[in-house]
Amino acid sequence: MELLIMAYALKTSCARNIIGVIPYFPYSKQSKMRKRGSIVCKLLASMLAKAGLTHIITMDLHQKEIQGFFSFPVDNLRASPFLLQYIQEEIPDYRNAVIVAKSPDAAKRAQSYAERLRLGLAVIHGEAQCTEQDMDDGRHSPPMVKNTTVHPGLELPLMMAKEKPPITVVGDVGGRIAIIVDDIIDDVESFVAAAEILKERGAYKIFVMATHGLLSADAPRLIEESSIDEVVVTNTVPHEVQKLQCPKIKTVDISLILSEAIRRIHNGESMAYLFRNITVDD
């Protein structure tokens, strides 16, 4: 709301361009329609346009298709070059590492990291994972009643319950360093469960790397008590309090690319340089 109010104030003051720098775009996970729910990202894009914004700089949108919701330019910068540099400089013997996707949904991102580092790839698949589509959203209403009257000509087919296969790790992690990559770390239960599985499969060190470290609720305590050796996130979201609670959390500074993007837009220069060496799946 503060951003919308400030943008509207600038619009009514006849500003020529209003550029919003939003490193972590809120509600970015709500970009698809689930059952009959709302697409909050579309609503937010419409509100920003109505308030008067003419350009947005953001980083690692949860889905790249979100850019299509906007009627003005969106520069979706990438944090992967900074995280790759951290792996190469701060993780000893990173050549003995394997990039891990904690679910099949994250496999493309993990593959992008693995190809640029020339490392192996592993994917965790099975019943321990809870995808966004499986979460109970409270819309199973009204409750089922046995003696309900149904229109005589209406026979709806029964939906089969989805059963996940047993947990498996596709790829060899025995005696290796496991690096789990994702875009957002919020609820860490899935990362902690993935770390336990990787430990059982023989990984001797486990790193978790992501762009946005929301780390809400009891995340610092759960990380501290887990098998995870280090959680590396960028400073798109402030997390100083979480770092005090858990020394395993490390920060990578990405202010350099944001400041360069602001400078290039202000001077009317090309933004293509900031997207060099970026793969399609990144």
Domains of the chain: 1-77 (3.40.50.2020), 79-129+165-252 (3.40.50.2020)
Q: What is the mean pLDDT of residues 4-27?
A: 96
For residue range 262-275, list pLDDT tens digits in order: 999 999 999 998 98
Res 138: pLDDT: 55
State how far Cα 158 lies from the chain centre: 34
In the predicted model, what is the mean pLDDT of the chain?
88
Instruction: Note the pLDDT tens digit of each residue in 181-225.
Output: 999 999 899 999 999 999 999 999 999 999 999 998 899 999 999
CA dist 226 and 130 (Å) reads 19
CB burial of 22-34 (b: ≥16 within 10 Å; e: otherwise) equals bbbbeebebbeee
Residue 237 Rama label (left phi>0; alpha psi -120 to 50; beta): beta
Least confident of 49-58, 73-82, 257-266, 269-278: 269-278
The 10 Å Cβ neighbour count of residue 106 is 17
Q: How crowded is residue 194: how many other Cβ atoms within 10 Å of its Cβ?
A: 28
Angle at 111 between CA 106 and CA 117, to 5 degrees: 130
With a cut of 80, say whether residue 257 has pLDDT above it.
yes
Task: Tell me the average pLDDT across 66-83.
Answer: 94
pLDDT tier, 278 (very low <50, low <70, confident <90, very high otherwise): confident
Is residue 92 reached through a cis peptide bond, with omega within 30 degrees of 0 on the bond before it?
Answer: no
Residue bearing tokens 């003419």: 54
Task: Give the pLDDT score at 157.
Answer: 76
pLDDT at 26 over 90: yes
Identify whether the C-beta of residue 103 lies closer than 8 Å to the C-beta of residue 125.
yes
101-146 pLDDT per residue, tens: 998 989 999 999 999 999 999 999 886 545 555 555 555 555 555 5
Classified as helix, coil or strand, 9 is: helix
| Phi, then psi, of 99 in degrees rounded to 5 | -85, 130
Query: Using one digit for the tens of pLDDT, what is the confidence trace for 137-178?
Result: 555 555 555 555 556 666 767 666 667 777 889 999 999 999
Distance CA 272, CA 175 (A): 40
Instruction: Give me the mean pLDDT over the 248-260 stretch.
Output: 96
Which pLDDT score is estimated for 279?
80
Q: What would the pLDDT profile of 213-245 be if each residue is shown by its tens digit?
A: 999 889 999 999 999 999 999 999 999 999 999
Give the model's pLDDT for residue 141. Answer: 53
In sequence order, what E strands does the chain have?
19-22, 55-59, 74-77, 97-101, 120-125, 168-170, 177-185, 205-213, 230-234, 249-252
- 217 CB burial (10 A radius; 0-12, 13-18, 19+): exposed
Q: Are 101 and 181 in contact (CB under 8 A)?
A: yes
Overall average pLDDT of the 15-29 stretch: 94
DSSP-derived secondary structure letter, 167: P
- Consecutive H or E run containing 7: helix 2-12
